[in-house]
Chain A
Amino acid sequence: MPSDPQPILKVENLEAWYGESKALHGMNFDVREGELVTLIGRNGAGKTSTLRSIMGIVGNRTGSIQFRGKELIRKRTYQIAQEGIAYCPEERAIFASLSVAENMTLPPVLRPGGLSDKDLFEAFPNLHARRKSGGSKLSGGEQQMLAIARILRTGSRFILLDEPSEGLAPVIVKQIGTQILRLKEQGFTIVLVEQNLQFARLVADRHVVVENGQVVDTLTPEDLSADLDRVKTYLGV
């Protein structure tokens, strides 16, 4: 992948605020087509804020976010989504008043190449079994699958995933890992925020280490395995 010099996402000097408090202090990193990049770091380091800033769901942000050559910093959230970035938030945000099927079919088809309802239910058979259930009645793992499934419908090929493994049983984490790898094989580009190192090192091409709202290091999977102790100090574990 390093042979492809043009990153599709280029974040430069990104700063973000929630009201008075500053969450990002000049983030710099990029993501190339087809890559799976993780953002790792301590709680509160700014990983989630980075994803939210890319989507424009923060109070205020400055700097530059270029996606496929277009500047996103002045765009609104829905416009950013329409450019082809899909966001799956940590809290999953399943719509409680809608059924599973309604949640799944709600997102708009923004461009060709999205998965059809049939493909989605094939990829996530548990969701098919529960398609008539209310969105609030799902288990954590099912919610996570639904949250991932529904953004695949839009046709966006660039996905921001925030802690998909959080709070889930190991067997479910494994299932979700398999799904993520499958997406990568299908050519999706993925930015993954992850605390779970075991999970992160199984799937990622590159790890971007975030500390105090800045990028302090970039690691390859080999670095990660070779120098696990250093990485653990980054994570504070």
Chain B
Amino acid sequence: MTRTLWLGLLLVALIAAPLAIYPVLLMSILCFVIFASSFNLLLGYAGLLCFGHAMFFGTAAYVAGYLLKTYGVSVEVALIAGTLLSAAMGYVVGIISVRRSGIQFAMITLAISQFVYFLLLQAEFTGGEDGMQRIPRSTLFGIFDVSDHMAFYYVTLTVAVLAVAFFYRVVHSPFGEILRAIRDNEPRVESLGFRPERYKILAMTLSAGLAGLAGALKAMVFQFATLTDVSWPISAEVILMTLLGGLGTLTGPMLGAGIVILMNDELAQFGEWALIAQGVILLLVIIFFRRGVVGELSALWRRLRPSPDQNQDRG
């Protein structure tokens, strides 16, 4: 009951937020909330460290931008196209990479994402080094004008809420349980009669699709798509968000996304110092707060309250 109340309050706060805070900053946080959740699905639940997640994010940003600029498609079409294309990419990358795990998996995904980076650098339609500028925010469903920041904020918020609900649904489904079991003990899962690769490829596809959704949305929020979106620092940043917030917790990476984006925004005036600050924070988290912000807070919460395990059981 209290959870519903908290969720309601959060939603009200999010609806009211652009009155107090610059909407583009909020939208950027929401895009990265989706992106971090997609990464969390892979690393936190399936135990797969993808070091090239930017390829799904950035490619979808370009594709959505291209469709909007060239064909003037409506907002939802651009989002769906970006999502589907990235999901397809994730499927292919999955087939190539999921037989490996750990550092090998990370390196294969990094290599593929670098390959994608150079393809997009060379491709005509992306504008190469200049990037793709002046991406229009077209109409929603071909009817509603959502081009101003305030209106587009609510589009972004709706998409983010739907994406997070989807993520929640996936990790709490039987499929999500199998993913967690694979992360715990893959040989055991296989000896029960599951083919682990199939589940990992599906996880990869879903995760890439969500990352693509985030990228396509981002292209419309900022109205440009550049090589930065497909570059490895973005892949690293999403890892930072996930670890900072709390790996494998539902809300941690979302909170991590918010913290990192706000931090970047605050520190932008100091130039290179922003990166150094990021590094120091990551180090502190790894040394002192292994479970991330949300992980540590919920551990503290459990310690202060009697274990719900024992109370609920006798019912």
Contacts and interface: CB of A to CB of B under 8 A. Distances in A.
A74 to B, nearest CB: 16
Contact of A57 (B191, B196, B248): B191
A151 interface: yes
Contacts of B177: 98, 102, 106
Contacts of B309: 132-134, 137
A154 B313 contact: no
Contacts of A110: 193
Nearest to A128: B313
A22 interface: no
A228 interface: no
A124 interface: no
A83 B192 CA distance: 11
A77 B313 contact: no
A148 interface: no
A129 interface: yes
Interface in B164-181: 174, 177-178, 180-181
Contact of A89 (B181, B188, B193, B196): B188
B191 A132 contact: no
B142 interface: no
Classify the interface of chain B: helix, strand, loop or mixed.
helix
A77 B181 contact: no
Measured as residues with beta carbon below 8 angstroms from the partner, the interface class of chain A is: 20 to 34
A87 B313 contact: no
B263 to A, nearest CB: 30
Give the one of A78, A87, A105, A107 with max B CB within 10 A.
A78
Interface residues of B, number: 22
A76 B174 CA distance: 23
Nearest to A107: B192
B4 interface: no
Nearest to B179: A97
Contact of B185 (A86, A95, A102): A95
Given A95-B180, A102-B177, A78 B194 contact: yes
Given A78-B193, A107-B193, A132 B187 contact: no
A98 B183 CA distance: 11
Contacts of B312: 132
A93 to B, nearest CB: 4
B129 interface: no
Contact of B191 (A55, A102, A137): A55
Interface in B26-48: none
Interface in A125-151: 129-134, 137, 150-151
25 contacts: A76-B195, A77-B187, A78-B196, A80-B191, A81-B191, A81-B192, A82-B193, A86-B192, A87-B191, A96-B184, A97-B181, A97-B184, A98-B177, A98-B180, A98-B184, A102-B177, A105-B174, A106-B174, A106-B181, A108-B194, A129-B313, A129-B314, A130-B313, A133-B313, A154-B192
Given A97-B184, A130-B313, A151-B192, 16 more contacts: A57-B187, A77-B190, A77-B191, A80-B191, A81-B191, A87-B191, A93-B185, A93-B188, A95-B181, A106-B174, A106-B177, A106-B192, A107-B193, A129-B313, A129-B314, A131-B313
